[in-house]
C-alpha cells in the first residue's frame, strides 16, 4: 500500500496526464496471483499440470507466459 501511495503522489506531482500501471520490484509469478484472482471472482482454483502437457493445449509461448514472464517493470516510475 505504501508503494502505491508513493507512486500516486509522484504521478500527481511529476507525471504527464495518462494512465499509470505501477508494479512491484519483484512481480509475483502466475502461480501466486492466479489462484487469488480465481477466488476473488468465484471461479474454481486453477489446476496444475506438467509443462509438457500444457504445451499441447497452449503451446510453448503460452507455457513461457504462465511460468516465466512477470509482466511488468517499474524502471520508468522513477523518471
Determine the average pLDDT of the residues in 15-39: 83
What is the C-alpha to C-alpha distance for residues 79 and 67, in angstroms, rounded to an integer?
A: 30
Residue 79: the pLDDT is: 54
Report the number of distinct structural domains present in the chain.
Answer: 1
What is the C-alpha to C-alpha distance for residues 71 and 34, in angstroms, rounded to an integer?
A: 13
Tell me the pLDDT tens digit for each residue of 30-78. Answer: 888 899 999 999 999 998 899 999 999 999 999 998 888 766 666 666 5
Residue 52: the pLDDT is: 93
Residue 2: the pLDDT is: 81
What is the C-alpha to C-alpha distance for residues 10 and 69, in angstroms, rounded to an integer?
A: 27
Q: Which residues contact 63 (CB under 8 A, 6 or more apart)?
A: 51, 54, 55
Provide the residue range defining the domain that includes 69: 2-78
pTM score, whole prediction: 0.57
Amino acid at each position: 500500500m505504501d508503494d502505491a501511495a508513493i507512486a500516486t503522489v509522484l504521478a500527481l506531482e511529476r507525471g504527464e496526464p495518462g494512465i499509470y500501471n505501477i508494479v512491484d520490484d519483484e512481480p509475483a509469478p502466475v502461480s501466486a496471483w492466479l489462484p487469488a484472482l480465481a477466488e476473488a471472482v468465484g471461479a474454481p482454483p486453477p489446476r496444475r499440470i506438467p509443462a509438457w502437457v500444457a504445451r499441447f493445449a497452449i503451446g510453448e509461448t503460452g507455457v513461457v507466459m504462465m511460468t516465466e514472464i512477470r509482466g511488468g517493470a517499474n524502471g520508468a516510475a522513477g523518471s
